[in-house]
Amino acid sequence: MDAICRICESSRSDVRVEGEGSWHCVDPALDRVFPYRIAICRDCGHVFGIWDRDRLNQYTDEEYVTCDDDLEQYTAYVEFVLTGLRAMNRKPRILEIGFNRGALLKRFYDIGFECYGIEPGEQNVRSARARMPEAKLYEGLFDADWIDQYAEGFFDVVMMTSVFEHVCEPTDILRAVQPRLRRDGQLFLVVPDLARYTPTFQTNAMHRGVYGCSPLVFFYRNFFLCYGQHINHFSSPSLTRYLAATGFKTTRVADIGNLWVSASPSDHGVESFEFPEIVEYHSALMDYYEELLERTRSRVVDRLADRRVVCYGAGKEFKYFGDVFSRLGVEIMAVGDDACSTDSVNGTECVSPENLRKSNPEICVATSFDYEHEIAEKAKAILPDNVEVVTLTELLSQIDDDMPSFTSLRIDPGMALPAFA
């Protein structure tokens, strides 16, 4: 595994986080964890994961299906794109790179766009073609050779939503796309915001529903940072700089949980990829997250250590939970499993919920990847009144408030850019 920056190709990178990464966001309980390192480029400031390149098969095996539904946020995406387009007397052409099953692209198809797309998943492409029979949809991984079949200025919009953070060579994609866009066209990107990888953001119920992400991951690591399918990590100021360095001028930025960025082709170039202010900003962010993680671990240990602790939740999920608690030095006496499908999990006795009482616990933690509040209510109904019942989210409450504000370290996304932008 190398540490070559995926933006500027510099070999001057510092590894800042080492640990185990999650392969699945849908079910972190699965055993597919692997060594994962997070590095920062000392030249351009890019934050990127170092992993084995053969993991590119994530895009072609059929486990990578993010959405088959027409999501509510697609309305906002479409409006964001439309407001950046000038009126024209023909059908606008849109290319979506990584269209998955085509739910978002179909929004544009239905309002009359001429739709193009490329997507590596065979079943995804088949599903999208059924939805949009007149669209020109291709199966495969995007590269410069593929897009070279189209003339310069061919597309009015090129769109990547929740894709750009996955690609191994982001600057290659930007350079390949830039000449294929009309001069007044736009590149539309949606990526996770590196500046939002906090416990409050990731344990939000909405994000748990989308990512299947338990609050417990913070007792172990920062989930979004060490999620194996995300290779690149961008903040608003860094993405703006990197776009400028590859021939784009950012026209609009919205930070609505994720970053929404619109950019148009620019004639200006750049001779250097050195962005010392991004290096400083991202280094400070990593320091901040390391302290957040340490505080989450301390919070859990302070609350649970030296107490008689039991858990209530499915035994199959506790296999992951128990490992995390063990790493923190927290001993769990028993886990209550409604199915009671096994005698023990990771060496912890697995019992029916009613038998949790026999452990004479002082505190019960609701351990579930979902429905933690419902699980907690069940535990309260089973256990004596003097047994404290807490959820994982409650264990993490106010951690962000305890930390010094990161606001003073933020770079205004609208701050003056280098002259080449």
Domain spans of the chain?
A: 73-279, 297-401
Whether the domain at 73-279 and the domain at 297-401 fall into the same CATH topology: yes
Q: What is the side-by-side order of every strand in the sheet holding 47-50?
A: 13-22, 33-41, 47-50, 232-233
Residue 412 exposed, middle or buried by CB count within 10 Å (0-12, 13-18, 19+): exposed
Domain 73-279 carries which CATH code? 3.40.50.150
Q: At 85, is the secondary structure helix, strand, or coil?
A: coil
Measured in whole angstroms, the distance separating CA 388 from the mean position of its chain's CA atoms is 33
Q: Return the number of other C-beta atoms located less than 10 Å from residue 139's C-beta.
A: 17
| Signed CA dihedral, 352, 302, 406, 236: sign only | negative
CA distances from 157 to 116, 197, 343 (A): 10, 29, 57
* 3-state helix, strand and coil shares in percent for the chain, rounded to the nearest 5: 35, 25, 40
DSSP-assigned beta bridge partners for residue 160: 189
Q: At 227, is the secondary structure helix, strand, or coil?
A: strand
Report which secondary-structure segment, H or E, holds 237: helix 236-245
CA distance 376 to 164: 38
CA distance 194 to 204: 16
Contacts of 75 by beta carbon, 8 Å cutoff, 6+ apart: 107
Report which secondary-structure segment, H or E, holds 188: strand 181-192
Measured in whole angstroms, the distance separating CA 303 from the mean position of its chain's CA atoms is 29
Residue type, 238: S
| Signed CA dihedral, 246, 247, 249, 253: sign only | negative
Measured in whole angstroms, the distance separating CA 413 from the mean position of its chain's CA atoms is 20
Residue type, 75: T
CB 8 within 8 A of CB 58: no
Report residue 71: phi and psi, to 5°. Answer: -80, 155
pLDDT score recorded for residue 418: 30
Q: Return the number of other C-beta atoms located less than 10 Å from residue 399's C-beta.
A: 19
Q: Which CATH number fits domain 297-401: 3.40.50.20, 3.40.50.970, 3.40.630.10, 3.30.2290.10?
A: 3.40.50.20
Beta strand extents in 214-269 (DSSP E only):
232-233, 248-256, 258-265
Residue type, 63: E
Write the DSSP assignment of 24-43 as a string of letters: -SS-TTSS-EEEEEEEEETT
Token pair, residue 323, equals 């490992």
Report which secondary-structure segment, H or E, holds 351: strand 348-351
CA distance 334 to 332: 6
Which pTM does this prediction carry?
A: 0.81
Averaged pLDDT, groups of 10, the chain, 421 residues long: 83 84 53 75 93 59 58 86 84 95 94 95 91 96 94 97 90 95 95 78 53 51 69 92 92 84 85 86 86 77 89 75 80 84 79 88 84 88 94 67 45 34 23
Report which secondary-structure segment, H or E, holds 210: helix 205-211
DSSP-assigned beta bridge partners for residue 311: 335, 365
In 3D space, the residue among 45, 302, 268, 84 whose CA is nearest the CA of residue 178 turns out to be: 268
Measured in whole angstroms, the distance separating CA 267 from the mean position of its chain's CA atoms is 32
pLDDT score recorded for residue 59: 60
